Chain A
Amino acid sequence: MTDESPPIAPIAEKSRLASFWSMLRADKFALTAAIFLVIVIASAFIGPIFLEYDAGRQNLRGRNAPPFDMERGWQFFLGGDQLGRPLLARIIVAARNTMMVAAGSVAAAMIIGATLGLIAGNSRGRAAQIIPRIADVIMSFPSLLLAVIVLYTLEPSVGNIIIVLAITRIPIYLRTTRAEILEVRERMFVQAAKVMGASQSRIVFRHMLPVILPTLLTIATLDFAFVMLAESSLSFLGIGIQPPEITWGLMVSQGRPYLTNAWWLSFWPGLAIILTTLSLNLLSNWMRTALDPQQRWRLEIGGKKNG
Chain B
Amino acid sequence: MADHLLEVQDLSVTFHTVRGPVNAVRNVSWHLDRGEVLAILGESGSGKSVSASAVMDLIDIPPGEIASGRILFEGRDLLTMSHDERRRINGKRIAMIFQDPLSHLNPVYSVGWQIEETMVIHGTSRADAQRETVALLRKVGIPDPEGAAVKYPHQFSGGQRQRLMIAMALALRPDVLIADEPTTALDVTVQAQILGLLEQLQAETGMGLLIITHDLGVVAEMADRVVVMNAGEIVETGSATDVYRNPQHPYTQKLIAAAPGQGDMSHGVPEQEPLLRLTGVKKNYGAFTALNGISFDLMAGETLAVVGESGSGKSTMAKVLLQLEEASGGQAEYKGRDLLTLSPKELFEMRRDIQMVFQDPTQSLNPRMSVYQLISEAWVIHRDILPKDRWKARVAELLEQVGLLAEHMHRYPHQFSGGQRQRIAIARALALEPRIIVCDEAVSALDVSIQAQVIELLDKLRHELGLSYIFIAHDLPVVRDFADRVIVMQAGEIVEQGSVRQIFEAPRMRYTQDLLAASLDPDPEVQAARRNSRLEIAQ
Contact = CB atoms under 8 A, between A and B. Distances in A.
Contact present between A and B (CB < 8 A): yes
Interface of A: 1-3, 5-8, 10-11, 13, 187-189, 191-199, 202, 206-207, 210-211, 292-294, 297-298, 301-302
Interface stretch (B189-197, B331-339, B358-366): B358-366
A166 to B, nearest CB: 28
B348 interface: yes
A254 to B, nearest CB: 46
B453 interface: yes
Given A197-B382, A199-B381, A202-B381, A293 B419 contact: no
B416 A293 contact: no
24 contacts: A1-B44, A1-B45, A1-B417, A3-B417, A6-B415, A7-B416, A7-B417, A8-B19, A10-B407, A10-B411, A188-B358, A189-B363, A189-B364, A189-B367, A192-B358, A192-B428, A195-B322, A195-B355, A211-B366, A292-B367, A293-B367, A293-B368, A293-B414, A297-B19
A196 B377 contact: yes
Most buried by A among B43, B410, B417: B417
A191 B358 contact: yes
A13 B410 contact: yes
Contacts, number: 98
Most buried by A among B360, B368, B432, B450: B368
Given A3-B419, A302-B18, A293 B412 contact: yes
A232 to B, nearest CB: 36
Given A2-B449, A301-B19, 18 more contacts: A1-B45, A188-B364, A189-B364, A189-B365, A189-B366, A191-B324, A191-B358, A192-B425, A195-B356, A196-B432, A197-B382, A198-B377, A198-B381, A199-B381, A211-B367, A292-B368, A293-B368, A298-B18
A3 B432 CA distance: 25
Nearest to B370: A293
Interface of B: 18-19, 43-45, 322, 324, 347-348, 351-352, 355-356, 358, 360, 363-368, 377-378, 380-382, 407-408, 410-417, 419-420, 425, 428, 432, 449-450, 453
A4 to B, nearest CB: 8
Nearest to A10: B407
A194 B325 CA distance: 11
Contacts of A207: 366
A207 B377 CA distance: 11
B351 A195 contact: yes
Nearest to A208: B366
Contacts of B324: 191, 194-195
A198 B380 CA distance: 9
A6 B420 contact: yes
Contacts of B19: 8, 297, 301
A3 B450 contact: yes
A193 B429 CA distance: 10
B324 to A, nearest CB: 6
